[in-house]
Each structure stands twice: as structure tokens, then as C-alpha cells.
């Protein structure tokens, strides 16, 4: 009797965990809309798969730059932007939005990486490196 109750309890626990595990991992892309120029704003198109609708403040866009022209060390400039939307339904049920990144303090010849973060962890496929002209 006691063993049957234990087995039934474990089975019920597995049923509660299964929907969370089958929800899938969020992935996405970041795409630059135009060339990155020093002192100018840069528009980044963000696409997230497996996250529609997107909850405000759940994701952020991080732009990190190295002024010496190579990806080494902690970076010379870093900015984080909360992804508030508006979000649009993109291809294949993805969520699509744009965010403007400020390159005012970034000099010509720098290299940068833009990524989407959720809870401080980079979302798979969202890191895009680029050079500033």
C-alpha cells in the first residue's frame, strides 16, 4: 500500500514536470540593419523563437565593445537595453522587434558584439559580432 502511494506520487510529479521540459528552449538571432558607424545610432533587429508573446523586461539586448579592435578582456563599453517591444509576429511564429543601440562613445576601428540575454544568460544564436567604421 505504501509503495503504491509512493509510485503514484512520483508519477504525478513527473506529469507536472513534463510540460515545462517540453516547452523547448528559446533561441533567436540579432541582425544589424545597416552599417555600424562611430557616433551614430545602430538599429538591431531581434528575432526570438519559442518565446511568443514576449513578456516586457524578460529579455535584454547587450551591446559590448572593445576599442582596440579585438575581442580581448572585459570590454571598454557595455550597454544593456530592456526589450520592451513592440513585438510583432515574425516568420514561423517567432517574435520580432527592433532596438536602437547608441554608438556615440564608440570610436572607429572598434569591434563589438550584440546579444540577447535572459536572466543574465545569452540566448542561443543571438550573438552577432561587428566592426565599427
Q: What is the value of pTM for the model shown?
A: 0.80
CATH at residue 114: 2.60.40.10
The reply to whether 75 falls in a domain is yes
Number of domains in the chain: 1
Q: Which residues of the chain, if any, have pLDDT below 70?
A: 1-24
71-75, long-range: CB within 8 Å, 24+ apart, which pairs? Answer: 71/111, 71/113, 71/129
91: Cβ contacts below 8 Å, ≥ 6 apart: none
Q: Which of 126, 117, 40, 43 is nearest to 82 (CA)?
A: 117
The reply to whether 69 falls in a domain is yes
The reply to whether 93 falls in a domain is yes
Domain that holds residue 63: 25-131
| Each residue's pLDDT tens digit, 68-103 | 999 999 999 999 999 999 999 998 889 999 999 999
The reply to whether 34 falls in a domain is yes
The sign of the torsion formed by the CA atoms of 108, 114, 120, 121 equals negative
The reply to whether 30 falls in a domain is yes
The reply to whether 16 falls in a domain is no
The pLDDT value recorded for residue 113 is 98
The reply to whether 14 falls in a domain is no
Percent of the chain with pLDDT over 90: 74
The reply to whether 126 falls in a domain is yes
Amino acid at each position: 500500500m505504501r509503495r503504491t502511494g509512493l509510485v503514484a506520487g512520483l508519477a504525478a510529479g513527473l506529469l507536472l514536470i513534463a510540460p515545462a521540459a517540453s516547452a523547448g528552449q528559446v533561441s533567436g538571432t540579432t541582425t544589424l540593419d545597416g552599417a555600424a558607424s562611430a557616433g551614430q545610432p545602430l538599429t538591431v533587429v531581434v528575432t526570438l523563437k519559442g518565446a511568443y508573446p514576449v513578456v516586457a523586461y524578460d529579455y535584454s539586448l547587450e551591446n559590448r565593445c572593445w576599442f582596440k579592435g579585438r575581442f580581448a578582456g572585459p570590454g571598454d563599453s557595455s550597454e544593456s537595453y530592456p526589450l520592451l517591444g513592440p513585438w510583432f509576429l515574425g516568420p514561423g511564429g517567432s517574435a520580432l522587434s527592433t532596438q536602437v543601440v547608441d554608438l556615440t562613445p564608440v570610436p572607429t576601428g572598434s569591434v563589438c558584439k550584440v546579444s540577447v540575454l535572459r536572466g543574465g544568460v545569452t540566448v542561443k544564436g543571438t550573438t552577432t559580432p561587428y566592426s565599427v567604421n
